[in-house]
Structures are given as C-alpha cells and as structure tokens.
Amino acid sequence: MLAFLVQRISQAVLVMFVISVIAFAIQDGLGDPLQQMVGMSVSQDEREAIREEMGLNDPLVVQYVRFAGNALQGDLGISYFYGKPTMDVILEHLPATLELVIGASLIIVIFSVPIGVFAAIRPQAWLSKFFMGVSTVGISIPVFLTAIVLIQIFSIGVTVDWFPQDAGWGQWLNAALSTEGGLPSYGRGDDLTPLFGTWESGFFSQGGILHLILPSVSLASIMLPLFIRLIRAEMMEVLQSDYIRYARAKGLSSSRVYFLHALKNTMLPVITVGGVQIGIMVAYTILTETVFQWPGVGLMFLEAITRSDIPLIVAYLMVVGLIFVITNTVVDLIYGLVNPTVKLTGKKA
Amino acid sequence: MTTATLSRWDRFRESFLWYSFKRDKVAIASFIVLVSMVLAAIFAPLLAPADPYDLAQINIMNSELPPVGLDGSDPAFPLGTDAQGRDLLSTILYGTRVSLLIGFGAVVLQAALGILFGLLAGYLGGRVDSILMRIADVQLSFSTLMVAIIVGAVFKASFGNLMFGEIAIYMLIFIIGVSEWPQIARTVRASVLAEKKKEYVDAAKVMGFRTRRIMFRHILPNTLSPIFVIATVQIANAIISEAALSFLGLGMPETQPSLGSLIKSGFDYIQSGSWWITLIPGLVLVVLVLVINLLGDWLRDVMNPRLYKG
C-alpha cells in the first residue's frame, strides 16, 4: 500500500510540474508585464532598469524557479483587470462554481441510481428502453444547447396555439404544451446567505435555489446519460455473478438482493469513474456559466481570455490543474484502498 | 461464378456489413439523413437562396424575421432571418459545411497522430509506450474539451482577434485534432498489442523486414476496423467540440459562421423572442451529431472491436 501511495503521489507531483511548465511558458510567451505596468510614458533606459530589477533578463530556468517558488506560496501574480492578486480573484469566484457542481452532482446521484438500477433489473420494460433512448439522444446534445432550450421553456416561456381554440381538446393541448416560464436564468440572484465569512451560498434561500435550478440541470444533463449507462452496465454484470445466484437460492427477498448485495458492488466502479467525471465537469462549467452568466471561475476564465488578462489565465490553469490532479489521485487512492486486488504497478494491471 | 471474378461491388453486396445494414432500420435512416445533410452542405452554394458571405445581399431591414408560418414572416426567407438580416436557411447550409469540414479535418489529423503514436506505443513498448500513454492519460483526465479550450485561448491571445478569425478553420482543426488524439491512440495501441503476438508478425520479423514496414504494412491494416469505428464517433465529438469552442467565442467568427457560432449569435437575441435564430441551427447540430453517433453504434456492433479491448 505504501509503495502504491508513494508512486501515485510522485506521479501527481510530476504532472503538476508539467502543468506549471506549460503555464510558465504561456506567461512568458504571451505577456509583457512591463508593458502592463508602466505603459508608454517611460523611457527605454528606465524600462531596461526595471526589467533588470524584476529579473526579466535572467535565464529562463531562474525565472521558472522563481515562478514555481511563488506559486508554491500561493502567489500567482496580479490580475491586470482586477488589480489584485489572482488567487484572491479565483477564491472569490470559486464558491459559485462549487455550488453549481454540488447542485449538478445531487441531481445526477438522485436520478442516475434509480434509473440505472431499474434499467438493469428490467432491461425489457418499455420504460427502460425509453430511458436508454433518451440517454442516447442526451449524449448527442451539447450542454450549451440544453441550457438554451431550458431557458426558452422555463424562463422565457412557450406559447403553443397550433391546435384549434374552439375545440375542448385543442384548448387542452395548447395549455398542456405551453409553459409559463419565469425561472431565473441570469446570475445567482441577490438573496445569498454568507457562510464562513467569504462564502456566499445560494442553498439557503428560495431565490438562491431558484437561480441554481436551471444551471445545475444543464450541467447535470451532460453527465446523467453517462452515469445511467454506466450503472446499468455494471449492475447487469453483477447480477450475472455467482454470489447473486446464491443469494437468490438462499431465498432472500429480491429487493434485498438488488439493493443490498448487488448495488454495493455496482457502486465501486461507478464511484471511481464518478470522481474523475466530476473533475471533467469543470470544463463544462465554463460553458454552463457562460450561458447563465453565472459568476464562477469558468465565466471569469472566459472573460480573462477576452481581456487578455494573462496572469489570471495562468492562475486559472494552475488551480484547475491542481484540482484535476488532486481528484484523480484521491480517486486512485480510494480505489486502491477499497479494492486491494489493484496491482501496485497501477495501469499495467 | 468463382470468388475471383466477383467485382468489388458484388463482393460488397455479399459482405456481412451490407447484410446487417439492410436489416437495421435505424442505420438506414441515419445513413440517409447523414448523406442528405452532407450533400446539402457540399452543394450549399447551389442550394442556398442567398450567399451569407456576400455583404451586398444582406439588408438590415430584414433582420429577425420569423420562419414561414409565423406572424410577420416573409416567403423569401423560409426559415426566417438572423439579427443581421441574413437568410437563416443559407447560413445554416453554409454553417453545416464549415462544421462538417472542421469535424472531418480534425478527425483526419487526430487519426494520423493517434495511429502513429498508438503504433509506436503498442509495437515498440517499453519506455516509448509508458511516456506516450502517460501523456495520453493526463490529457484525457483533463477532458479533451478542457484541453481544446485552453489551447484555443492561448492561440486567440497570441494571434489576436482579427488574425484568428481569418485562419480560424485551420486553427480549429489543429486544436481539436491535437486535443483528441489520445482516444484513437489508445484504441490503436490496444489492437496492436493483440496483433503483435500473432504468427504473421513473427514471420515478418524472421523474414528480416524493417520495423517500420512491419508496423505500417503488416499490423496497421489489421487494426483498421476499430480505428474506423472510433473515427466515426470522433467526427461527432469533433463537431460538438467545434460548436462549443465557437459558442465560447474561441472558434469561427460570425462573418463565416459554423453551426456553433450561429447558435452563439442567436443566443443574444433569445430574450427578445427570436428563438429561431438559435434553436433551428441547434436542431440541425443535434440531428447531425445524433445520426453520426447512431451510425457509430451500429458500426461498433457489426465490427465488434470489443474483441480488441484489453
């Protein structure tokens, strides 16, 4: 176990090193901090002096070591646009993104487990086929399009008048297909509850939760089909195994067999894949936050790109890279812990 | 008639591929939809009522007209117009063309990279294998979309808006191709590992063929069917990635729109009630991606590359 731990952690450090080199290369290749600091009104000699003083003429390796040293202490430079340390800017925006991810994860867990289990137990039922069909279509719809359709239906509202108004059934169909709209589709609202000082949460007020609904559903929509399929496939495989047949032969009730014996072993691979997928969700938060103008790190990153705010772009890369590496490493370690058959050499198993 | 005299077409008609295609209604329907969309995109200049790239044909007075059948529509614009007064049908035809071009180009690029790296990793093994697959692992754990967004952001910041707009098609092919090669490389590597153990490779080695020749002339042809399956699905992924990048403003400019940038430009007007500018291109995108995915599913079932996994 110790060898596994050391191997995984050293690998994580190596990946983090590569990410920091890439981030440094971007900073070095794209930004001229001097230009941003002093503008046009400083003479060439003074520029050279400042350049020397800031160490911009040092060899690249020296500059990188300084960059990495500062980064280790949480100092990733100062944002051009916000005029304050990039880490502060990111930490301000992080709670909004985290709440979005939490909301989406809740939706995924609540819906994927029952649907996946049902589809595995009764693969021939029309409801299972319906869910599988919907999930095939769901995979083909990009997340930003789901978000736009949700906005049209639940925020702007749809008025249907295709059916004749004079007939009773026409009126009923028109009313059934029309939607009121009215759900908020912009930002987080102003009804936020402060938590632990700087964290403002939308989970504790009606307005906050209403603002969370559409963005979380959109973000969940991209992962939900994947999880339903995964749970179904794993569960079907588990149901074939000998110990399930034995449990049935012993005369245990089928709900006990399904939910106690089978589900436990189904969830093991699902949790590991799930951990990695939640990391991947970060990429999709950029899209979701853009559609809903959600003030999280994804929108902040995109704005930093349009403003050419290089230090903020670089800081975002480092922070997101760290989040990815930590989730992947922790998931690997948990997997190694709960499933001792995993080989010490890792991937070669 | 002996097999030798069968023409290529007859051989195809007797193949299992054609047999299972004939019996699968979903595959036939998807194929028909896909082919008609591809043809419509290729012949867009002939089919489209207007040329969206030609500024002289656009009249701002025609902006935000709804599709035919709704109040205030104009029969000259069957699907309505966008915010700049461009005919939506024409922009969609041209946009599908751009999206398909980028999707196809990106898959050609990632297949080239994926096949090369997959063959090297699988056949040579050892250090080459572990380095290449580690890179692939890291890239995949970051998700291809994230990598594409970051590369796109860096390119955009270094080239500037105008320059980026001019070479956007090539940029997008490059960005998506480079960010998605690990998918194909993994598939190729897995099937190379299975093929490597077979006798014909030993025979080739004994005959003294060079490594390069064994890799490309002997092993590669036998790994083509899984590559074909995954490449089909990857076209759909590349089209979605392109749409996502364009939607974020890191892709095609509005003057030369793809489906993604059409959706983006329409989204700004959805609150004013002009849903068709964003939802009709969106529907086209979903249908395109869906039929490619369905064909990919069917191909996977027929060719069953699951045999190569592991």
Of A276, A279, A283, nearest to B149 by CB-CB distance is A283
Residue B256 near residue B265 (C-beta atoms within 8 A): no
> Could you give the number of structural domains in chain B?
1
Q: What 3-state DSSP class applies to A195?
A: strand
Residue B22 is assigned to a structural domain of this protein: no
Residue B36 is assigned to a structural domain of this protein: no
Q: Residue A57 pLDDT more than 80?
A: no
Residue B252 is assigned to a structural domain of this protein: yes
Q: Say yes or no for a CB contact (<8 Å) between B275 and A306.
A: no
Q: Which of B210, B176, B183, B201 is nearest to B118 (CA)?
A: B183
| Residues of chain A contacting B233 with CB distance shorter than 8 Å | none
Lowest mean per-residue pLDDT among A7-21, A307-321, B65-79: B65-79
pLDDT for A269-327, tens place per residue?
A: 777 777 777 667 877 888 899 888 888 898 999 888 888 788 888 888 888 888 888 88
Read off φ and ψ for residue A179, nearest 5 degrees: -125, 155
Mutate to test the interface with B, among A140, A278, A287 (most CBs of B within 10 A): A140
pLDDT for A212-228, tens place per residue?
A: 888 899 988 888 888 88
The mean pLDDT of chain B is: 82
What DSSP element (H or E) covers B150? helix B144-159
Say if residue A237 is exposed, middle or buried (CB neighbours under 10 Å; 0-12, 13-18, 19+).
middle
Q: Residue A49 pLDDT more than 60?
A: yes
Task: Give the residue ranges of DSSP H helices in chain A.
Answer: 2-30, 33-38, 44-54, 60-72, 86-121, 126-140, 143-150, 168-177, 206-239, 242-249, 254-256, 263-292, 297-306, 310-338
Q: Residue B107 pLDDT more than 90?
A: yes
Q: Which residue has the higher pLDDT, A229 or B15?
A: A229
ipTM exceeding cut-off 0.90 for this assembly: no
Q: Which of B307, B268, B72 is nearest to B187 (CA)?
A: B307
pLDDT for B228-274, tens place per residue?
A: 888 888 999 899 989 998 888 888 887 788 888 888 888 888 777 77
CA distance B149 to chain A (A): 8
Supply the pLDDT for residue B115: 92
Of A142, A308, A324, nearest to B244 by CB-CB distance is A142
B80 reaches A (C-beta below 8 A) = no
Q: Say yes or no for a CB contact (<8 Å) between A308 and B270.
A: no
CATH number at residue B198: 1.10.3720.10
Q: Say yes or no for a CB contact (<8 Å) between B244 and A151.
A: no
pLDDT for A85-129, tens place per residue?
A: 888 889 888 888 888 888 998 999 899 888 988 898 888 888 888
pLDDT for A149-163, tens place per residue?
A: 888 888 777 776 666
Supply the pLDDT for residue A279: 67
Model confidence at B61, pLDDT cuts 50, 70, 90, reads low
Q: Which of A298, A284, A320 is nearest to A147 (CA)?
A: A284
B27 reaches A (C-beta below 8 A) = no
Residue B231 is assigned to a structural domain of this protein: yes
Of A156, A308, A324, nearest to B141 by CB-CB distance is A324
Q: Which of A136, A149, A300, A275 is nearest to A218 (CA)?
A: A149
pTM confidence score: 0.83
Mean pLDDT of B22-45: 88
Q: Residue B309 pLDDT more than 60?
A: no
The mean pLDDT of chain A is: 80
The token pair at A88 is 């502060």
Lowest mean per-residue pLDDT among A230-234, B51-55, B92-96: B51-55
Q: What 3-state DSSP class applies to A325?
A: helix
| Residues of chain B contacting A310 with CB distance shorter than 8 Å | 157
B248 reaches A (C-beta below 8 A) = yes
Q: Say yes or no for a CB contact (<8 Å) between A313 and B157.
A: yes
| Residues of chain B contacting A301 with CB distance shorter than 8 Å | 153
Nearest CA in chain A to B240: A142
Model confidence at A192, pLDDT cuts 50, 70, 90, reads low
| Residues of chain B contacting A324 with CB distance shorter than 8 Å | 141-142
Distance, CA of B175 to CA of B148 (rounded, Å) = 6
Of A26, A148, A317, nearest to B270 by CB-CB distance is A148
Residue B57 is assigned to a structural domain of this protein: no
Supply the pLDDT for residue A339: 66
Mean pLDDT of B28-32: 90
Contacts of A165 (CB under 8 A, 6+ apart): A171, A174
pLDDT for B189-221, tens place per residue?
A: 888 888 888 888 888 888 888 888 888 888 888
Lowest mean per-residue pLDDT among A1-15, A197-211, B143-157: A197-211
Supply the pLDDT for residue B116: 92
CA distance B240 to chain A (A): 6
Q: Say yes or no for a CB contact (<8 Å) between B244 and A324.
A: no
B241 reaches A (C-beta below 8 A) = no
Q: What 3-state DSSP class applies to B179?
A: helix
Query: Looking at this protein, which amino acid is placed at residue A119?
Result: A
Supply the pLDDT for residue A347: 43
Model confidence at A210, pLDDT cuts 50, 70, 90, reads confident
Query: Looking at this protein, which amino acid is placed at residue B208?
Result: G
Q: Say yes or no for a CB contact (<8 Å) between B247 and A140.
A: no
Nearest CA in chain A to B293: A140
Percent of chain A with pLDDT strictly greater than 90:
1
Percent of chain A with pLDDT strictly greater than 70:
82
Distance, CA of A329 to CA of B2 (rounded, Å) = 60
Q: Residue A348 pLDDT more than 60?
A: no
Q: Which residue has the higher pLDDT, B185 or A275?
A: B185
CA distance A45 to chain B (A): 27
Supply the pLDDT for residue A162: 66
| Residues of chain A contacting B247 with CB distance shorter than 8 Å | 142, 144, 287, 290
Residue B128 is assigned to a structural domain of this protein: yes
Q: Residue A173 pLDDT more than 80?
A: no
Supply the pLDDT for residue B110: 92
Supply the pLDDT for residue A84: 86
Supply the pLDDT for residue B307: 43
| Residues of chain B contacting A152 with CB distance shorter than 8 Å | 270, 275, 279
Q: Say yes or no for a CB contact (<8 Å) between A290 and B248.
A: yes
Q: Say yes or no for a CB contact (<8 Å) between A305 and B157.
A: yes
Q: Residue B305 pLDDT more than 60?
A: no
**Cα end-to-end distance, chain A, whole Å:** 15
Q: Which of B267, B260, B255 is nearest to B284 (CA)?
A: B260
Distance, CA of B243 to CA of B259 (rounded, Å) = 6
Say if residue B63 is exposed, middle or buried (CB neighbours under 10 Å; 0-12, 13-18, 19+).
middle
Q: Residue A195 pLDDT more than 70?
A: no
| Residues of chain A contacting B248 with CB distance shorter than 8 Å | 286-287, 290, 302
Residue B266 is assigned to a structural domain of this protein: yes
Q: Say yes or no for a CB contact (<8 Å) between A286 and B282.
A: no
Q: Which residue has the higher pLDDT, A32 or A66?
A: A66
When mean pLDDT is compared over B17-26, B49-58, B90-99, B296-305, the highest value belongs to B90-99
The token pair at B262 is 């059409």
Residue B66 is assigned to a structural domain of this protein: no
**Cα end-to-end distance, chain B, whole Å:** 41
Range of the domain at B205: 93-302
Q: Say yes or no for a CB contact (<8 Å) between A148 and B282.
A: yes
